[in-house]
Amino acid sequence: MSSRSRLPGVLGVIAATMGLFFSAFSTHDYALHLDRQLHATNCSFVPGIAGPEAGDNACKAAMYSSYSAIFRDKYWGGVPISLFAMGAYAFFLAMAVYLLTAGNAASKRSWQTYGLASLTPAVASAVMFTISVTKLGQFCKLCVGLYVASGILAASGVWALVAAGGKRVGAGASATDTIPDVGPPVPAGYPLHAYAMPEPARSPLGPGSVIPTGSWLVPLALFPALGAFAVAPSLVYARSMPDYRPLLLSCGKILDPNEKTGALVKLKTRSPVQPALTFEDPLCPTCRAFHKRLQTEEIFDRLDLTVAIFPLDSECNPMLDRPFHPGSCQLAKAFLCGDKAGNAREILDWSYENQEELRDAGKAGKEILRAKIRAKFPEVDACIDDKETKKRLDRVLQFAVANKVPISTPQMFLGETRLCEEDTDLGLRYVVGQLAPQVFQP
C-alpha cells in the first residue's frame, strides 16, 4: 500500500491564505484611488491591524509606479496586477484544500499538476522583486508578504511533486486483500452447506491505500482553470470601471502659454511630437515621482517640453510666507544657468536622483547645498549669483501668476490643456493617450 503526508496541503492552505490576504489589501488600496482623490495606503505586514498610512511610503510608491498595473492606456489607472494574484491564490487555496482532504484518493496527476502550477507565483514574485531592487529601490511590505506567500506555496508544490506517488508501506498487502472469517464451528452431523458463510471481512487498509495515477487530462483541465481564476477578477474590474473621459478637460487651460522674455527652459528630448509645459520644483518629492513616471511610461522623450522652474521656497518665491523646500531656489537658479551652459536637463535629473541628500543639505544651510552644486557643476557656480539669473527666475514666477497657476507642483499642460492633479499619477498614461495619442504612436 502507499500513503502520503498531508503537509503539502497544509502549507498550500497557509500560503494561499496569505496570498489572498496581501493581494486583497493591495487591490483595495488601488481601487480606493478610482475616485481620483488621495487616500492613505496600507503598508504593513499586518494590514487591518496596523492602520493605513497617509503620505508617501514604499507601498504608495509601488502603486504609483508603472509596474503595478497593465492596460494603463486603455483604462484610467489600468488593471492592477494584484487582481491576478487574488484570482490565482483563490485557485491554489481550492486545490490545497482538495489535496488536504482527499489524501490518497487524489490522483498522482493532480498532485503533480498542483506542484508544477504552484511554481508560477514564485516566478512572478522573482520578477517583481527584481523590479523593486533595480527600478524602485525600495520594498512595499504588502509585496514582501506576497513574496513570502509565493515561496511557501512553491515549497508545498515541490513537496507535492516529490510525494505525488506516495510512500510504500509494508509488503504483500494491497487494498483488495481480505482477512478470511471461518465463522462459528459447525455442529457434528450438520452438513456444511447448512451454514451460510459470512462475507469476507474488508482489510483495515481501506480502499484509499492504492493511489490512482489519474489521466493526463487533469493538467489539461487544471492549468486553464488556473488561468480562468487569475483573469476573472480583472475582467470584472475592467467591466465595472466608470468612464473618465468627460473629466479629462475639467481642469481648465492655460491663459497665455507664450512667455515672451525667454525665461522658460526648453529641454531637449529625443523624438518630440507633443508640446507640453510643466511647473516643477527640484526638491519636490512628488515632482521627482512625476518625472520618473514620464520616463518609465515612455512619455518624456516624446514631448516638446518646456519647463517653468517653480521653487516652493520663500527665499525667492514671494508667493510663500515660509519655505516648503528649503534650498530649492539655489537649484532653480542652477537649472536656469544650465540652460545657458547646455546642461539644464542634466542638472534637473541630478537634482531628482539625489533629492534626499540635497533636501537635507538645503535644510542644513544654503552654503552646504551650494557646495554640492559647485562640486558637481562648477561651470554654473558664478551664474547662480548673477543678477540676470534672479531676474529670469522672477519672470518665471510672474508667468505663473499671470496664468493663475496654483501654488503647487508638479503641474502639466498638454498643449493648452491642464492635466488635473489626479491625472498626473495613476491616470497619466491613460490621459496622455486620450489627449495626445500621437505620443504613443511609432
Query: Which 3-state string (H, E, C) describes 134-189?
Result: HHHCCCCHHHHHHHHHHHHHHHHHHHHHHCCCCEECCCCCCCCCEECCCCCCCCCC
For the cut 50, the answer to whether the pLDDT of residue 417 exceeds it is yes
Question: What is the predicted pLDDT for the residue at 113?
Answer: 95
For the cut 60, the answer to whether the pLDDT of residue 202 exceeds it is no
Whether residue 350 is contained in a domain is answered as yes
Whether residue 254 is contained in a domain is answered as no
Q: What is the mean pLDDT of residues 139-143?
A: 93
Nearest by Cα to 344 from 415, 401, 276, 264? 264
Q: Which grid cell sits at 37? A: 482623490
User: Same domain, yes or no, for 270 and 232?
Assistant: no
Alpha-carbon span 224 to 219, nearest angstrom: 8
Q: What is the DSSP letter of 195?
A: S
Whether residue 191 is contained in a domain is answered as no
Tell the residue number behind the cell numbers 552646504, with chain if given: 368
Whether residue 338 is contained in a domain is answered as yes
Q: What is the mean pLDDT of residues 190-217?
A: 59
Q: What is the mean pLDDT of residues 348-365?
A: 96
Question: What is the predicted pLDDT for the residue at 155?
Answer: 97
Domain end marker among 238, 273, 292 = 238
Q: CB 94: neighbour CB atoms within 10 A? A: 14
Question: What is the predicted pLDDT for the residue at 210?
Answer: 76
CB-side exposure of 141: number of CA atoms within 13 Å?
12
Q: What is the mean pLDDT of residues 126-131?
A: 95
Query: What is the H or E stretch that residue 389 is in?
Result: helix 387-402
Are the beta carbons of 65 and 296 closer than 8 angstroms?
A: yes
SS (H, E, C) 253-292: ECCCCCCCCCCCEECCCCCCCEEEEEEECCCCHHHHHHHH
Nearest by Cα to 47 from 37, 33, 59, 39? 59
Tell the residue number behind the cell numbers 533629492, with chain if given: 355
Q: What is the mean pLDDT of residues 377-390?
A: 96
Whether residue 342 is contained in a domain is answered as yes
Alpha-carbon span 273 to 270, nearest angstrom: 10
> Which tens digits make up the pLDDT trace of 26-69?
999 999 988 888 788 888 888 877 777 777 788 988 998 889 99
Question: What is the predicted pLDDT for the residue at 190?
Answer: 53
User: Same domain, yes or no, for 234 and 309?
Assistant: no
> Which tens digits make up the pLDDT trace of 88-127?
999 999 999 999 999 889 999 999 999 999 999 999 999 9
Which residue range is the domain that position 138 belongs to? 2-168+215-238
For the cut 60, the answer to whether the pLDDT of residue 361 exceeds it is yes
User: Same domain, yes or no, for 92 and 233?
Assistant: yes
Q: pLDDT confidence of 211, banded at 50, 70, 90?
A: confident
| Residue length of the chain | 442
Q: What is the mean pLDDT of residues 337-347?
A: 95
Whether residue 429 is contained in a domain is answered as yes
Question: What is the predicted pLDDT for the residue at 38?
Answer: 76
Q: CB 201: neighbour CB atoms within 10 A? A: 10
Question: What is the predicted pLDDT for the residue at 193?
Answer: 52
Phi-psi region of 78 (alpha: psi -120 to 50; beta: other; left: phi over 0): left
Instruction: For residue 412, give the CATH number of its domain.
Output: 3.40.30.10
Whether residue 210 is contained in a domain is answered as no
Q: pLDDT confidence of 207, banded at 50, 70, 90?
A: very low
User: Same domain, yes or no, for 161 and 282?
Assistant: no
User: Same domain, yes or no, for 293 and 404?
Assistant: yes
User: Same domain, yes or no, for 435 and 296?
Assistant: yes
Q: Is 337 exposed, middle or buried (0-12, 13-18, 19+ CB in 10 A)?
A: buried
Number of domains in the chain: 2
Question: What is the predicted pLDDT for the residue at 100?
Answer: 92
Whether residue 184 is contained in a domain is answered as no
User: Same domain, yes or no, for 312 and 220?
Assistant: no
User: Same domain, yes or no, for 227 and 279?
Assistant: no
Q: pLDDT confidence of 21, banded at 50, 70, 90?
A: very high
**What is the average pLDDT value for the chain, to the nearest integer?**
89
Task: Please measure the distance between the N-terminal and C-terminal CA atoms of the chain and give it in whole angstroms.
Answer: 65
User: Same domain, yes or no, for 286 and 424?
Assistant: yes
User: Same domain, yes or no, for 226 and 306?
Assistant: no
Q: What is the mean pLDDT of residues 257-279?
A: 95
Instruction: For residue 162, give the CATH number of its domain.
Output: 1.20.1440.130
User: Same domain, yes or no, for 115 and 232?
Assistant: yes
User: Same domain, yes or no, for 12 and 104?
Assistant: yes
Task: At 425, give phi and psi (nearest 5°).
Answer: -120, -95
